[in-house]
């Protein structure tokens, strides 16, 4: 079981009007069962693309992915995805959203009552049992994300894929969610691949941090083993020298080795993940991530 998820030399070309655009180039990574791996890198480097290939939502142009000895070539519930924007069905309650997944995955192996218990158990795991019968528009952003995680966990996936799951949340809520996730991870010991651009989050949660180079033709720059003892506590870690050393290494990779040259958009607050931001006349060297922190 040493190589549970095997990503070998994946490259992808997106067709564009100016010819194929190589977003990823020969990226390889091996992940052990029960490992928590974070992908970190500047916006637009190709993190979501990697995750979508793992999920089977995108096909690599070259190379391939194998999970538990089987090749991945289409989406499936054994690779559950938690999207950045919760992606719950707005017309269903929290319970019904999880139910949709549970019914689909366990329709042949669980009775109705077992399903109900399983759904409730997962909602309880993310501390959402009190709001089971509320619909997404009645829930806060953090609560919606919790339900999204419950839905993914309820599929009992082999790997849990998370694309900036807490990126849209405020700092306090994000800290709560990270603690919840560590708690769940302690109980379930899932194999997790999580995208983040929050350095503290990556160090706090991960067993390994995979740092990606800037695109185009992005690949893995460095891999950092975070052998901090668990359970981890954000308050005590703040004074831990190892913790600060790991932090410093990630920061140095992002801001020195992969320093990103970006023009300053004239309009502030344009999200990099959106379409090409409006470019202003004033151009300069700006570290986008640095400005955020």
Partner 1 sequence: MISISQQTWLQPWIKLARGEQPAEQLRALTKTLLVPLAGVAVFLVLWAVAAGQINTSLGAFPGPVDVWQQGGALLEEHAAERREEDAFYERQRERNAQRQAVDPSYQPRIFPYTGSATFIDQILTSLMTVTAGFVLASLLAIPLGILIGLSRTLYRAFNPVIQLLKPVSPLAWLPLVTMVVSAVYVSQDPLVPKSFITSMVTVMLCCLWPTVINTAVGVASVDNDLNNVSRVLRLGWLTHVRTIVLPSAIPMMFAGLRTSLGIAWMVLIAAEMLAQSPGLGKFVWDQFQNGSSDSLSRIMVAVITIGAIGFLLDRLMLAVQSLVSWDKSADLR
Ligand X SMILES: Nc1ncnc2c1ncn2[C@@H]1O[C@H](COP(=O)(O)OP(=O)(O)O)[C@@H](O)[C@H]1O
Summarize as ranges the residues that interact with partner 1 (CB under 8 A). Answer: 55-57, 75-77, 79-81, 83, 85, 87, 89-91, 100-101, 104-105, 135, 137, 155
Q: Which does 77 bind (CB under 5 to 8 A by kind): Mg ion, partner 1, ligand X, none?
A: partner 1
Nearer to partner 1, 15 or 284 (CB): 15
Please identify, among the stretches 47-55, 71-79, 120-128, 154-162, the one whose residues bind ligand X according to the rule CB under 6 A: 47-55
- The H-assigned helical ranges of the chain are 47-55, 94-106, 112-125, 141-154, 171-188, 199-205, 234-237, 241-252, 288-292
- Taking the complex as a whole, the smallest distance from the CB of residue 197 to ligand X amounts, in Å, to 8
The CA distance from 235 to 268, in Å, is 33
Q: Which does 23 bind (CB under 5 to 8 A by kind): ligand X, Mg ion, partner 1, none?
A: ligand X
The DSSP bridge partners found for residue 27 are: 10
The CA distance from 218 to 195, in Å, is 15
Q: Reduced to 3 states, what is the DSSP secondary structure of residue 224? A: strand
Nearer to ligand X, 105 or 250 (CB): 250
Nearer to partner 1, 101 or 220 (CB): 101
Q: Which does 81 bind (CB under 5 to 8 A by kind): partner 1, ligand X, Mg ion, none?
A: partner 1
**From 264, 273, 286, 287, residue interacting with ligand X (rule: CB under 6 A):** 273
The CA distance from 150 to 88, in Å, is 11
Whether residue 152 contacts residue 136, with contact meaning beta carbons closer than 8 Å, is answered with no
**From 36, 46, 162, 166, residue interacting with ligand X (rule: CB under 6 A):** 46
Q: Reduced to 3 states, what is the DSSP secondary structure of residue 80? A: strand
First to last CA, the chain: 38
Please identify, among the stretches 27-35, 37-45, 90-98, 255-263, the one whose residues bind ligand X according to the rule CB under 6 A: 37-45
Nearer to Mg ion, 48 or 97 (CB): 48
Residue closest to 4 by CA, chosen among 26, 30, 29, 27: 30
């Amino acid at each position: 079981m040493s190589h549970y998820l095997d990503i070998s030399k994946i490259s992808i070309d997106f067709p564009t009007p100016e010819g194929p655009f190589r977003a990823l180039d020969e990226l390889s990574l091996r992940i052990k069962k029960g490992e928590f791996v974070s992908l970190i890198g500047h916006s637009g480097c190709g993190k979501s693309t990697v995750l979508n290939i793992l999920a089977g939502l995108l096909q690599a142009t070259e190379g391939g992915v194998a999970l538990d000895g089987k090749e991945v070539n289409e989406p499936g519930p054994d690779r559950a995805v938690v999207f950045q924007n919760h992606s719950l069905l707005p017309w269903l309650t929290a319970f019904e959203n999880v139910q949709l997944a549970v019914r689909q995955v366990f329709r042949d192996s669980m009775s109705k009552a077992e399903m109900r218990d399983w759904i409730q158990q997962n909602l309880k795991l993310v501390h959402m049992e009190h709001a089971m019968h509320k619909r997404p528009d009645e829930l806060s952003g953090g609560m919606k994300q919790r339900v999204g995680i419950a839905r993914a966990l309820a599929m009992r996936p082999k790997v849990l894929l998370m694309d900036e799951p807490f990126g849209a949340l405020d700092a306090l809520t994000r800290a709560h969610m990270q603690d919840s996730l560590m708690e769940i991870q302690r109980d379930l010991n899932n194999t997790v691949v999580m995208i983040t651009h929050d350095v503290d989050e990556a160090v706090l949660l991960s067993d390994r941090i995979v740092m990606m180079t800037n695109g185009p033709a992005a690949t893995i720059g460095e891999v950092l083993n975070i052998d901090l003892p668990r359970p981890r506590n954000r308050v005590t870690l703040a004074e831990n020298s190892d913790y600060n050393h790991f932090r410093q290494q990630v920061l140095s990779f992002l801001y020195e080795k992969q320093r990103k040259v970006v023009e300053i958009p004239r309009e502030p607050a344009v999200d990099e993940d959106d379409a090409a931001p409006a470019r202003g006349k004033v151009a300069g060297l700006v570290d986008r991530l640095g400005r955020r922190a």
